[in-house]
């Protein structure tokens, strides 16, 4: 899962402020979860060319409700390229609500539209996505070890209509969620990297872009423990509306991926 | 022909005789002031002995008589001032300033009495005036009297959070209020990130809050205008005051330098933590690494070259900051978070025979700053900036206002204002080449002109009409608008008043801030090609009635209001002021990429009731309101509740005189809960492997993290807010006959936990992780004290 590094705010100053303010003033209380919470079927599926069509099902969480072990046991999942015949996906295992196009009947290609339909006795859900028709490309990229830090420097060609992210081992590089210019100059979180490093450049469709923004916001709330995050820049805006599942929650999105393996260069003075 | 010559000759002779028989007439104008405080005395009775007539000064303490040449005796005799008799030799147009000395025997009780002498009919329903003594009578917060806190007890006014030193007026947001201190706009009004306002109580003379019915001279914000005036400098006597409370120490001095000509007024306040830090810097205390600071200071140098002219050099500064330094090997790492604001103005006031002119040249600067730097451990020289985020705004302005008394019933006011901004909304520097974002500095210009005509329909009925032409922009885009203003206030009989107003307001500088507690990260964005100005049409109609009997004073005031707004600014979904820095998605892109604009409306009813009987005073203020907003790109384009949609707001204030020098005051506030957005769905975070395309949604039992989904904005209403504050004030004379006051207060007497924020947290139980809703409330029961002395 995508992870984001802690935000570089002056940590110590904020901690001090929190300590002073909270010891004086604040009280924390547990509240019942909002009555707005509802049980909704949950659908996640991300398409990418040359990858198997996969769909995961689940349910949203409501406290106090008996937790289901097998979600939507009678669900049937259909998918197709827009304008073509529906293909029924097969359930991977009876106790797992994961459906795949095992026979690879659907070919996922750049720029094409795909549809998804889930039928169960409870609900019928539908969604549609379009695979990005242009991708970001790495033009030049180097990885330098500089004063104990790993720095990525280079250039990329970014698409006009889609956002791109740079990942390493599933983690975001640098502190920027999306690349906003073709010039790359970011720090990579070094987790025992030795001689080389794999970097992925993702091109996201708008649904996945919004979802990634929502994920980043949720994770920023965890940078500070509990109520401290309120003072240290707790996110106060609205979450992006990322769900494109009709009659359910989740995303049916798509992405393009380019992977580079870079040798690590040690920068000498 | 001969006859005609005779007739002409007789006529000329008759005319000369007539002229010689009538004395020339001259104008006598002037101002009546309190000698101790320097403030003008409004509606003060003036008896002219020769005519056996009693007239009154106007609302600014001024008077203008037209009288035949001669000697006149003016008698000014009204409590609580000592009687004064002035002999005027009127042989030409004459201007005088008359100073009255408060009677020493009753001076002590002046400030306690003041709340009673404020008939509700005196001012329009949509305006609220507060004098220093009225602010002082309110229960204190952490030992500090606060203007903005006092205003939040009045109808139609709330704050964004408990304890927040900001104002939300009639469905408007805190960034939509114009705060003026002696005519200079303030960008930030908060100390200690909202616990106190920057208006130091020792400097405030009076304040007027306009919620509607704005005179044409005001503009630039769409919700309200708070015009705060500081004490006038007294050129005749030395005086001062000082005080200490839990949070701060303050002092004010009045220093005449040339009697009746030149004087200096100084006032300042500094946090007690800052004082401790100053001591530590001077080596008296051991080095203390944490730093918590706020301070404000005002200086006024006032010069009267003659009775008709006054020159004033004004300076105001306020700053806030928290910081910490940590020692590392050979280095000291310093972090700092703060804001700073400075204003300087040269002001010239000229009193003519029928005119008054005010000219002001001023400059101001505001800076928000967050930084982390390394210093040399021994010499404390700066080695490098590791991180710095800043937002700046500064202006250079010129304004001129002229007031003309055209006749007994007509007066006019005109003015111009030119302002050049230097805006640098957001600069981020990580100290190396990894990341530097510097927003382009912008230099928009603002030019405004206004005209206002006041017409006295009846002795106590006034109609004001005004027109303001405002313009703002640069060579890329120019915005302009005509802003008509109309207001009426009439008093019928002795105790009934009606008022009505309509007006259009425009705002060219958008202030965008995160609404949360903590780091008040705020960014100022000008209207430009992408962002249009905000504007509002505001209408109100109200009435007031005073009931007086020998023992009882009861008054009632109500105002019905409606406003429509356009060009409101809010963050797009997925952004707030913190995240635009954190994710830096916008880079150097236009603000319109993370901001969106919409419209809104709000309407409501304000009601105020005053009850005074003997030693008991009770004031009740109630507001009923609704506010809605609509943005094409938010909430699927549907209307939603404004964040400041507080349906009911009630405040009850009571004052009980215990003795001649002590009183007990209390206030109870109730507000409906404000709307917040809470998730409508929670689920375990799915995991993706982008390389292989594998996807998994864990079972809630095994999930370490949860995702949320919000469908409708402001879909939940917080529980109501209520609390009770108490204060006991005791005035006494010190051994050296100084007037002193001791106050003891209790904030939130019954320790109500008013939830300010809700957030989703995680809890681990039996090896499983569960989402949990938590609320945070500020300010439990807090005792406080303060002590002040005047000399």
Residue B13 has a pLDDT of 41
Residue A84 has a pLDDT of 92
User: Which segments of B430-495 are extended strands (E)?
Assistant: 436-438, 445-458, 461-473, 478-492
- Is residue A23, in this structure, part of any structural domain at all? no
CA distance A178 to chain B (A): 6
Q: What is the DSSP letter of B141?
A: B
* pLDDT tens, residue by residue, B458-516: 878 899 999 999 999 988 889 999 999 999 999 888 789 999 999 999 999 998 776 55
- Is residue A6, in this structure, part of any structural domain at all? no
Whole-complex ipTM: 0.87
**Cβ–Cβ below 8 Å for B576 and A236:** yes
Residue B599 has a pLDDT of 96
Of the candidate ranges A92-96, A143-147, B141-145, the one whose mean pLDDT is the lowest: B141-145
Residue B427 has a pLDDT of 72
Phi, psi dihedral angles at B602 (to 5 degrees):
-150, 145
* pLDDT tens, residue by residue, B410-437: 999 999 999 999 988 777 766 554 455 5
**Cβ–Cβ below 8 Å for B710 and A238:** yes
Search chain B and give the residue with CA nearest A186: B434
Residue-wise DSSP of B502-524: EEEEEE-EEEEE--SSS---EEE
Is the same domain home to A107 and A207?
no
- In this structure, the strands spanning A54-59 and A41-47 are antiparallel
Stronger pLDDT, B23 or B756, i.e. the higher one: B756
- Is residue A180, in this structure, part of any structural domain at all? yes
Specify burial of residue B102 (Cβ count, 10 A radius: 0-12, 13-18, 19+).
middle
- In this structure, the strands spanning B25-34 and B94-100 are parallel
**Cβ–Cβ below 8 Å for B759 and A28:** no
> Mutating which of A25, A63, A79, A118 best tests the B interface, going by the most B Cβ atoms within 10 A?
A25
**Cβ–Cβ below 8 Å for A31 and B433:** no
Is residue B685 within 8 Å of residue B706, measured between CB atoms? yes
Give the B window 219-278 contacts with A, CB below 8 Å: none
Percent of chain B exceeding pLDDT 90 equals: 32
Owner of token pair 């309509």: B502
Chain A touched by B564 (CB under 8 Å): no
Residue whose C-alpha is closest to residue B255's, from B295, B299, B201 = B299
Q: Residue B574: which of A17, A213, A219 has the nearest Cβ?
A: A213
Mean pLDDT of A57-79: 83
Is the same domain home to A174 and A227?
yes
Chain B CB contacts of A236 below 8 Å: 514-516, 576, 578
Is the same domain home to A141 and A95?
no
Mean pLDDT score of chain A: 81
Chain A touched by B516 (CB under 8 Å): yes
Chain B CB contacts of A48 below 8 Å: 690, 693
Query: How many residues make up chain A in this entry?
Result: 269
Residue whose C-alpha is closest to residue B99's, from B304, B282, B265, B297 = B304
What gap in Å lies between CA B712 and CA B164, rounded to an integer?
27
Q: Partners of B763 in the beta sheet?
A: B770
Examine residue A102 and say whether the peptide bond preceding it is cis (omega within 30 degrees of 0): no
Give the A window 33-92 contacts with B, CB below 8 Å: 33-34, 36-38, 40, 42, 44-46, 48, 51-52, 54, 56-63, 67, 69
Of the candidate ranges A55-64, A199-208, B536-545, the one whose mean pLDDT is the lowest: A55-64
When divided into structural domains, chain A yields a total of 2
Phi, psi dihedral angles at B42 (to 5 degrees):
-85, 150
- Is residue A248, in this structure, part of any structural domain at all? no
pLDDT at B332 over 60: yes
- Is residue A30, in this structure, part of any structural domain at all? no
Q: Partners of A31 in the beta sheet?
A: B773
pLDDT at B588 over 80: no
Chain A touched by B400 (CB under 8 Å): no
Chain B CB contacts of A246 below 8 Å: none
Search chain B and give the residue with CA nearest A167: B690
Interacting residues of B366 by C-beta distance below 8 A, sequence separation 6+ = B187, B188, B339, B340, B341, B392, B393, B394, B524
CA distance B675 to chain A (A): 13
What gap in Å lies between CA B232 and CA A36, rounded to an integer?
56
Name the pLDDT band for B590 (thresholds 50, 70, 90). Answer: low
Mean pLDDT of B216-227: 95
Mean pLDDT of B544-567: 91
Chain A touched by B687 (CB under 8 Å): yes
Chain A CB contacts of B710 below 8 Å: 238-239, 241
Q: Domains in chain B, please, with CATH?
A: 21-100 (2.60.40.10), 114-676 (2.40.170.20)
Examine residue B80 and say whether the peptide bond preceding it is cis (omega within 30 degrees of 0): yes
Owner of token pair 């003072």: A231
Q: What is the DSSP letter of B280?
A: H
Question: A247-256, B134-143, B404-413: which has the highest mean pLDDT?
Answer: A247-256
Mean pLDDT score of chain B: 82
What gap in Å lies between CA B117 and CA B137, rounded to an integer?
14
* pLDDT tens, residue by residue, B82-138: 778 887 878 777 778 788 877 653 433 333 333 434 567 888 889 998 888 788 777
* Start-to-end CA span in chain A (Å): 37
Answer with the one of A74, A103, A130 that is the final residue of a domain. A130
Mean pLDDT of B271-299: 68
- Is residue A107, in this structure, part of any structural domain at all? yes
Chain A touched by B371 (CB under 8 Å): yes
Q: Residue A237: which of B322, B575, B709 has the nearest Cβ?
A: B575
Search chain B and give the residue with CA nearest A238: B573
Phi, psi dihedral angles at B515 (to 5 degrees):
-80, 0
Chain A touched by B586 (CB under 8 Å): yes
Q: Which two tokens stand for residue B104?
A: 């020493």
* pLDDT tens, residue by residue, A180-229: 778 888 888 766 667 788 889 999 999 999 999 888 888 776 655 555 55
CA distance B587 to chain A (A): 6
Interacting residues of B239 by C-beta distance below 8 A, sequence separation 6+ = B36, B253, B254, B790, B791
**Cβ–Cβ below 8 Å for A28 and B683:** no
- Reported as type and span, the H/E element at residue B743 is strand B739-747
CA distance A221 to chain B (A): 9
Is residue B561 within 8 Å of residue B212, measured between CB atoms? yes
Residue B107 has a pLDDT of 36
pLDDT at B575 over 70: yes
Residue B193 has a pLDDT of 64
What gap in Å lies between CA B464 and CA B130, rounded to an integer?
22
SS3 B192: helix
CA distance A53 to chain B (A): 8
Residue B286 has a pLDDT of 46
What gap in Å lies between CA B319 and CA A210, rounded to an integer?
39
Q: Residue A54: which of B578, B695, B708 has the nearest Cβ?
A: B695
Chain A touched by B352 (CB under 8 Å): no
Chain B CB contacts of A216 below 8 Å: 583
Mean pLDDT of B43-63: 81
Is residue B254 within 8 Å of residue B238, measured between CB atoms? yes
Mean pLDDT of B326-330: 65
Of the candidate ranges B173-182, B229-238, B766-775, the one whose mean pLDDT is the lowest: B766-775
pLDDT at B68 over 90: no
* pLDDT tens, residue by residue, A16-48: 555 555 555 667 778 777 777 888 899 999 999
What gap in Å lies between CA A141 and CA A119, rounded to an integer?
46
Is residue B268 within 8 Å of residue B300, measured between CB atoms? no
Is the same domain home to A261 and A164?
yes
**Cβ–Cβ below 8 Å for B690 and A202:** yes
Residue B19 has a pLDDT of 39
Is the same domain home to A148 and A213?
yes
> Mutating which of A160, A164, A237 best tests the B interface, going by the most B Cβ atoms within 10 A?
A237
CA distance A127 to chain B (A): 17
Of the candidate ranges A244-248, B7-11, B298-302, B429-433, the one whose mean pLDDT is the lowest: B7-11
Mean pLDDT of A159-169: 88
Residue B211 CA: distances (Å) to CA of B44, B218, B223: 28, 12, 7
What gap in Å lies between CA B493 and CA A236, rounded to an integer?
52
**Cβ–Cβ below 8 Å for A221 and B759:** yes
Q: Any idea what the CATH number is for the domain that residue A144 is in? A: 2.60.40
pLDDT at A3 over 50: no
Name the pLDDT band for B788 (thresholds 50, 70, 90). Answer: confident
> What is the dihedral sign for C-alpha B230, B233, B237, B242?
positive
Mean pLDDT of B308-332: 81
CA distance B145 to chain A (A): 18
Is the same domain home to A145 and A126?
no
What gap in Å lies between CA B184 and CA B676, rounded to an integer?
34
Q: Residue A60: which of B371, B587, B683 has the nearest Cβ?
A: B683
Residue B195 has a pLDDT of 74
Chain A touched by B768 (CB under 8 Å): no
CB contacts < 8 A (A, B) = 276
Mean pLDDT of B766-789: 79
Owner of token pair 């010129």: B398
SS3 A84: coil
Search chain A and give the residue with CA nearest B430: A8
Owner of token pair 């936990």: B753
Q: Which domain holds residue A66?
A: 41-130
Residue B114 has a pLDDT of 38
Is the same domain home to A69 and A150?
no
Is the same domain home to A48 and A81?
yes
Residue B138 CA: distances (Å) to CA of B42, B111, B618, B649, B656: 24, 12, 12, 18, 12
- Reported as type and span, the H/E element at residue B541 is strand B534-548
Interacting residues of B563 by C-beta distance below 8 A, sequence separation 6+ = B170, B171, B172, B212, B536, B537, B538, B539, B601, B602, B603
Residue B112 has a pLDDT of 35
Answer with the one of A85, A107, A130 that is the final residue of a domain. A130
Is residue B777 within 8 Å of residue B163, measured between CB atoms? no
What gap in Å lies between CA B620 and CA B608, rounded to an integer?
6
CA distance A2 to chain B (A): 8
Residue whose C-alpha is closest to residue B291's, from B275, B274, B272 = B274
Interacting residues of B618 by C-beta distance below 8 A, sequence separation 6+ = B609, B610, B611, B612, B652, B653, B654, B655
Chain B touched by A9 (CB under 8 Å): yes
**Cβ–Cβ below 8 Å for B290 and A16:** yes
Chain B CB contacts of A28 below 8 Å: 774-776
What gap in Å lies between CA A77 and CA A56, rounded to an integer?
10
Search chain B and give the residue with CA nearest A19: B290
- Is residue A21, in this structure, part of any structural domain at all? no
Q: Residue A42: which of B683, B687, B780 has the nearest Cβ?
A: B683
Chain B touched by A109 (CB under 8 Å): no
Owner of token pair 């109501």: B720
Answer with the one of A78, A95, A130 that is the final residue of a domain. A130
Residue-wise DSSP of B79-127: TTB--EEEEEEESS-EEEEEEEPBPTTTGGGHHHHGGGS--GGGS-TTE
- In this structure, the strands spanning B382-405 and B355-376 are antiparallel
Mean pLDDT of B448-459: 91
Of the candidate ranges B30-39, B184-193, B459-468, the one whose mean pLDDT is the lowest: B30-39
**Cβ–Cβ below 8 Å for A187 and B387:** no
Is the same domain home to A125 and A229?
no
pLDDT at A177 over 50: yes
Of the candidate ranges A55-59, A86-90, A182-186, B656-660, the one whose mean pLDDT is the lowest: A182-186
**Cβ–Cβ below 8 Å for B370 and A56:** no
What gap in Å lies between CA B471 and CA B416, rounded to an integer?
12
Is residue B78 within 8 Å of residue B101, measured between CB atoms? no
Is residue A215 within 8 Å of residue A48, measured between CB atoms? no
Chain B CB contacts of A42 below 8 Å: 683, 697
User: Which segments of B35-83 are extended strands (E)?
Assistant: 45-48, 53-56, 62-68, 70-76
Of the candidate ranges A16-25, A242-251, B173-182, the one whose mean pLDDT is the lowest: A16-25
Is the same domain home to A113 and A224?
no
Q: What is the DSSP letter of B134?
A: H
Q: Partners of B542 in the beta sheet?
A: B499, B559
- Is residue A209, in this structure, part of any structural domain at all? yes
Is the same domain home to A90 and A116?
yes
Chain A touched by B719 (CB under 8 Å): no
Chain B touched by A8 (CB under 8 Å): yes
Is the same domain home to A124 and A84?
yes
Is residue B293 within 8 Å of residue B322, measured between CB atoms? yes
Chain A touched by B346 (CB under 8 Å): no
Specify burial of residue B289 (Cβ count, 10 A radius: 0-12, 13-18, 19+).
middle
Chain A CB contacts of B700 below 8 Å: 61, 67
* pLDDT tens, residue by residue, B629-676: 999 999 989 999 998 899 999 999 998 989 888 889 898 999 999 888
């Amino acid at each position: 899962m995508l992870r984001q590094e802690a935000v570089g705010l002056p940590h110590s100053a904020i901690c001090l402020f929190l300590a002073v303010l909270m010891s004086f003033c604040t009280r924390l209380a547990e509240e019942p979860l909002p009555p707005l919470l509802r049980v909704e079927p949950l659908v996640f599926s991300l398409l990418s060319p040359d990858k198997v069509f996969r769909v995961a099902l689940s349910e949203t969480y409501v406290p106090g409700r008996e937790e289901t072990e097998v979600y939507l046991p009678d669900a049937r999942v259909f998918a197709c390229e827009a304008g073509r015949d529906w293909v029924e996906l097969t359930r991977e295992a009876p106790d797992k609500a994961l459906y795949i196009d095992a026979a690879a009947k659907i070919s996922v290609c750049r720029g094409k539209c795909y549809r998804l339909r889930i039928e169960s006795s409870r609900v019928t859900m539908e969604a549609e996505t379009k695979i990005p028709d242009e991708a970001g490309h790495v033009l030049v990229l180097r990885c330098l070890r500089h004063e104990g830090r790993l720095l990525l420097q280079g250039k990329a060609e970014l698409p006009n209509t889609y956002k791109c992210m740079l990942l390493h081992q599933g983690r975001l590089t640098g502190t920027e969620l999306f690349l906003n210019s073709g010039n790359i100059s970011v720090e990579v979180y070094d987790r025992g990297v030795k001689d080389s490093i794999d970097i992925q450049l993702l091109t996201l469709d708008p649904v996945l872009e919004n979802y990634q923004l929502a994920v980043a916001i949720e994770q920023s709330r965890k940078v500070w423990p509990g109520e401290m995050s309120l003072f240290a820049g707790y996110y106060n805006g609205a979450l992006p509306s990322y769900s494109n599942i009709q009659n359910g929650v989740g995303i049916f999105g798509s992405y393009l991926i380019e992977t580079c393996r870079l040798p690590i260069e040690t920068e000498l003075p | 022909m001969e006859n005609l010559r005779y007739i002409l000759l007789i006529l000329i002779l008759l005319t000369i005789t007539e002229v010689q028989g009538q004395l020339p007439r001259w104008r006598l104008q002037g101002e009546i002031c309190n000698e101790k405080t320097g403030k003008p005395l409004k509606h003060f009775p003036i008896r002219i002995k020769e005519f056996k007539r009693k007239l009154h000064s106007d609302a600014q303490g001024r008077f203008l008589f037209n009288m035949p040449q001669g000697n006149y005796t003016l008698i000014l005799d009204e409590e609580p001032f000592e009687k004064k008799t002035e002999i005027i030799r009127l042989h030409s147009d004459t201007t005088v300033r008359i100073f009255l000395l408060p009677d020493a025997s009753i001076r002590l009780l002046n400030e306690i009495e003041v709340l009673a002498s404020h008939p509700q009919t005196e001012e329009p329903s949509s305006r609220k005036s507060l004098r220093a003594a009225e602010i002082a009578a309110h229960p204190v917060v952490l030992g500090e009297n606060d203007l903005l806190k006092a205003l939040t007890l009045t109808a139609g006014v709330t704050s964004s959070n408990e304890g927040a030193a900001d104002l939300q007026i009639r469905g408007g947001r805190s960034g939509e209020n114009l705060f003026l201190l002696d005519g200079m706009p303030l960008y930030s009004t908060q100390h200690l990130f909202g616990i106190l306002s920057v208006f130091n109580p020792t400097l405030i003379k009076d304040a007027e809050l306009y919620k509607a019915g704005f005179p044409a001279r005001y503009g630039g914000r769409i919700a309200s205008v708070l015009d705060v005036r500081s004490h006038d400098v007294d050129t005749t006597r030395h005086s001062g005051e000082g005080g200490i409370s839990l949070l701060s120490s303050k002092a004010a001095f009045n220093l005449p330098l040339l009697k009746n000509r030149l004087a200096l007024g100084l006032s300042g306040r500094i946090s007690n933590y800052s004082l401790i830090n100053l001591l530590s810097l001077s080596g008296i205390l051991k080095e203390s690494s944490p730093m918590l600071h706020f301070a404000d200071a005002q200086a006024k140098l006032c010069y009267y070259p003659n009775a008709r002219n006054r020159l004033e050099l004004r300076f105001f500064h306020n700053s806030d900051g928290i910081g910490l330094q940590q020692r590392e090997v050979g280095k000291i790492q310093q972090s700092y978070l703060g804001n700073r604001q400075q204003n300087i103005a040269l002001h010239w006031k000229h009193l003519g025979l029928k005119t008054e002119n005010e000219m002001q040249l001023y400059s101001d600067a505001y800076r928000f700053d967050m930084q982390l730097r390394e210093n040399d451990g021994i010499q404390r020289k700066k080695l490098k900036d590791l991180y710095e985020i800043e937002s700046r705004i500064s202006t250079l302005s010129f304004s001129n206002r002229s007031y003309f008394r055209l006749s007994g019933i007509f007066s006019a006011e005109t003015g111009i204002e030119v302002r050049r901004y230097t805006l640098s909304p957001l600069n981020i520097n990580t100290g190396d080449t990894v990341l530097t974002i510097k927003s382009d500095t912008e230099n928009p210009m603002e030019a405004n002109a206004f005209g206002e005509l006041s017409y006295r329909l009846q002795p106590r009925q006034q109609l004001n009409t005004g027109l303001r032409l405002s313009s703002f922009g640069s060579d890329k885009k120019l915005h302009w608008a005509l802003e008509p203003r109309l207001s009426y206030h009439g008093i019928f009989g002795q105790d009934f008043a009606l008022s009505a107003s309509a007006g259009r307001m425009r705002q060219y500088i958008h202030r965008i801030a995160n609404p949360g507690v903590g780091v008040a990260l705020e960014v100022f964005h000008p209207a430009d090609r992408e962002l249009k100005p905000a504007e509002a049409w505001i209408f109100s109609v109200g009435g007031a009635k005073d009931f007086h009997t020998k023992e009882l004073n009861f008054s009632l005031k109500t105002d019905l209001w409606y406003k429509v707004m356009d060009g409101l600014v809010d963050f797009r979904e997925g952004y707030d002021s913190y995240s635009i820095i954190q994710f830096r998605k916008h880079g150097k892109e236009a603000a319109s990429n993370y901001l969106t604009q919409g419209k809104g409306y709000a309407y409501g009813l304000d009601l105020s009731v005053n009850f005074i009987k003997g030693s008991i005073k009770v004031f009740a203020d109630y507001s009923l309101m609704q506010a809605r907003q609509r943005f094409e790109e938010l909430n699927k384009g549907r209307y939603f509740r404004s964040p400041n949609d507080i349906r009911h707001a009630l405040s009850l204030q009571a004052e009980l005189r215990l003795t001649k020098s002590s009183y007990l005051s209390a206030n109870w506030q109730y507000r409906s809960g404000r709307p917040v957005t809470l998730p409508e769905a929670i689920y375990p975070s799915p995991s993706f492997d982008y390389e292989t395309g594998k996807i998994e949604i864990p079972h809630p039992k095994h999930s370490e993290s949860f995702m949320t989904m919000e469908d409708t904005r402001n879909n939940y209403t917080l529980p109501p807010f209520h609390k009770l504050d108490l204060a006991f004030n005791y005035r006494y004379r010190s051994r050296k006959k100084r007037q002193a006051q001791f106050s003891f207060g209790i904030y939130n007497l019954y320790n109500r936990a008013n939830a300010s924020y809700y957030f989703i947290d995680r809890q681990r139980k039996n090896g499983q992780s569960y989402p949990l809703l938590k609320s945070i409330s500020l300010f439990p029961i807090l005792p406080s004290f303060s002590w002040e002395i005047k000399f």
